Amino acid sequence: MEKITRRAKNLAICYGASVAGIATTETLKGGPPSTDLTYVLPGAKSAVSFAVPLDQNHVEPWFNKQNHEAHFRNNIQANVIASGISLELANYLEQKGYPSIPLTANTAYRSDTQNGRYDEKPPISHRYLAVRSGVGFFGLSGNVLTKTDGAAIILGSVVTEAELIATEPIPAEDNYCDNCLLCKAACASGYIDGEQRVTVTLGGLEFSYSKKHNHSRCDYVCGGFTGLHKSGKWSTWSPGRFPIPDKDEDFYPALLKTVGPYLRRPRTESTLFNVLMPGDKVELTCGNCQLVCHPDKDVRKRRYKLLVESGVIIQNPDGSREAVSPEEAERKIGAMDPETRALYEKV
């Protein structure tokens, strides 16, 4: 098993992951339902967890709102690479005689919960596997951070009947998260609580991160329905200017009201396919909590500064997006005919 464990991790690294580890049914024992490997494979004994790095070169142009497409494309490619590694690795393990299940990197949801896919519960949580196997550690944001790439990663996993050898979590003292709260500050939706924490126990070890509020918050903002921060001074890459509610329960109704305008707005070239989205397609407009989090605190601070000082996004008649000052955005929106303006804000 030592040899096959080494080879499984090595395959993931050779095919594009920056780090890989192994979680087992034992090391995941006592965890939330999404750590139950037998949910996808009744005879499961272990899982390979790995992280594919995003290209850091595209992060600052994302935050200063100069280049939407570069990171968007890179994000799609990293997801496809992570899902591809999963498929290759599952095939490799199968060929070695161990039934295995590849997991897609994203947009896979359980259908057997109260609201089905809309509960957004994954078959298996890549995050819990990653922290327990030492691929990364939880930041306050609840994102998994790696030593080299921070949170700018896409996670992947393969579940297998092979009794691969577990790898150890990263020691707490090596976790660079210093509660800087820049992930919370970079989130226009208020999804990250920042004060209250949740703790999970996996195989006798505790892992904790910030409590998160209702998921509709992230759906509304990260989904691109709206993007203007409550201050009116900065935005995500969404040109939507619909109000961001205060209470959790007001987010889903607010989202529903913006579906029409969202679908009628001109689309960018790149798109992510997601069955939960109107039209099955989503534009990447946020991910700020993830992208702001770099191992170097000065880089984190610089990214946050770029985000909040680069103005707000408006959409031009040809569909292109442009960052302008908050005042210029008001002027341009005010000059639109009511039908066009209604694509972006309440008229």
The residues that touch ligand SF4, with contacts defined as CB under 6 A, are: 139-141, 177-183, 186-187, 189, 191, 218, 221-222, 286-289, 292-293, 300
Least distance in Å: CB of 266 to ligand SF4?
22
For residues 259 and 279, what is the distance between their CA atoms, to the nearest angstrom? 10
Q: Compute the C-alpha angle 213/313/248, nearest 5°.
A: 15
Residue placing its CB nearer to ligand SF4 in the complex, 78 or 221: 221
To ligand SF4, the closest distance from the beta carbon of 105 in angstroms equals 16
Nearest residue (beta carbon) to ligand SF4? 139
Report helix, strand or coil for 246: coil
Question: Closer to ligand SF4 at the Cβ: 289 or 329?
Answer: 289
To ligand SF4, the closest distance from the beta carbon of 286 in angstroms equals 3
Q: Structure tokens of 160?
A: 């297998």
Q: Which is nearer to ligand SF4, 75 or 160 (CB)?
A: 75
Which of 25, 141 has the CB closer to ligand SF4? Answer: 141
Q: Which is nearer to ligand SF4, 208 or 316 (CB)?
A: 208
What are the CA-CA distances from residue 43 to residues 100, 159, 210, 329 (Å)?
9, 10, 33, 57
- Residue 171 or 317: which CB sits closer to ligand SF4? 171
Q: What distance, in Å, lies between the first and last C-alpha atoms of the chain?
A: 64
To the nearest whole angstrom, how small is the minimum distance from the Cβ of residue 308 to ligand SF4? 13
Tokens of 188: 């226009």
Shortest separation between residue 221's beta carbon and ligand SF4, angstroms: 4
Q: What is the residue whose two structure tokens read 């095939």?
A: 91
Q: Any residues with CB less than 8 A from the CB of 88 and at least 6 apart, and which?
A: 11, 15
What HEC string does 277-338 produce?
A: CHHHEECCCCCHHHHCCCCCHHHHHHHHHHHHHCCEEEECCCCCEEEECHHHHHHHHHCCCH
Find the shortest distance in angstroms from Cβ 53 to ligand SF4: 16
- In the complex, least distance from residue 172 CB atom to ligand SF4, rounded to whole angstroms: 13
Minimum CB–partner distance for residue 179 and ligand SF4 (Å): 5
160: which strand partners?
Answer: 46, 100
Of 134 and 139, nearer to ligand SF4 (C-beta) is 139
Segment holding 5, helix H or strand E? helix 2-14
Output 160 or 290, the one with its CB closest to ligand SF4. 290
Pairwise CA distance, residues 245 & 66, whole Å: 28
Separation of alpha carbons 48 and 5, rounded Å: 9
Asked whether 48 and 160 are in contact (CB, 8 A), the reply is: yes
Q: Which is nearer to ligand SF4, 101 or 187 (CB)?
A: 187
Contacts of 327 (CB under 8 A, 6+ apart): none
Min dist CB 142 to ligand SF4, Å, is 8
